[in-house]
Structure formats: structure tokens, C-alpha cells
Amino acid sequence: MLIERKSATTLKTIEENNMNGKWTKENFEIHDKAHPEIYKNFCKYALQAAAVKARYSAKCIFHRVRWDSMIMDTMSEFKVDDGWISHYARKFMEENPNLKNFFGTRVRRSTYHSEV
């Protein structure tokens, strides 16, 4: 769960969403705008991995970002939630068409991603 300095009122409530409560595309856009440093670091590490690997794990990249935000930045007051991983992976591949298959993604019967 993302614990922010700001209240969670900026995120839609579970009752307002069908898929996994807060991890909707709309809420990702709110979260991403509030925490641009997360995506900046995600891109930095994904590009480092892409320099030596044809495919890699978005979750692994995200754990590296988490390390930076929770361990290296001891003043950080929020946690980076796994629920955003697929959003960051898709955003990265959309913005880097030469790496469009760098991360594996799944299409689910019910999804909050636009690829259905």
C-alpha cells in the first residue's frame, strides 16, 4: 500500500473502482504525478538493465526503486507499493518503443489497463 505524506483522499475509494481498488489507471496517473521521482528511477534502472539484457523483470526494477526510496532515503515517509509495477512497466515500454517487449505483461479478463 502506498503511504503518502498527503492523505489517501486523492485516490479513489475501493467502492468507486472495480479492479483492485486504488490501482486503476486513473489513480496511477495521480500517483505518478505526485511522485515523479519513482518513474525517473524506474527508467534509469530499466535502461541500465536494457543495456545488457533483452528482457527483464519490472518487479526487480521496482525493488531497486524501493531500495532507493526506503533505505537510501532515510527521510522518506512513504512506501512504494507493488500495485503500481504493471503501470510503470507499461508506461516505460510505451515511452520507449524500441523496448516494447522488454517487460512481460499479461492481459487479464478484467483489467484496468487499456490493452483489452
Report DSSP letters for 70-83, one per residue: III-TT------GG
**71, HSE (Cβ side, Cα atoms, 13 Å):** 6
The pLDDT score that the predictor gives to residue 18 is 47
Q: What's the rounded Cα separation, in Å, for the pair 2 and 11? A: 10
Q: Is the residue at 60 inside a domain?
A: yes
Q: Is the residue at 1 inside a domain?
A: no
Mean pLDDT of 10-17: 43
Q: Is the residue at 66 inside a domain?
A: yes
- What grid cell was written down for 112? 484496468
Cβ(62)–Cβ(82) below 8 Å: yes
Q: Is the residue at 42 inside a domain?
A: yes
Q: Is the residue at 6 inside a domain?
A: no
Of 114 and 47, more confident:
47
Number of folded domains that form the chain = 1
- What grid cell was written down for 115? 490493452
pTM: 0.73
Q: Is the residue at 8 inside a domain?
A: no
Q: Is the residue at 112 inside a domain?
A: yes
Range of the domain at 71: 37-116
Q: Is the residue at 13 inside a domain?
A: no
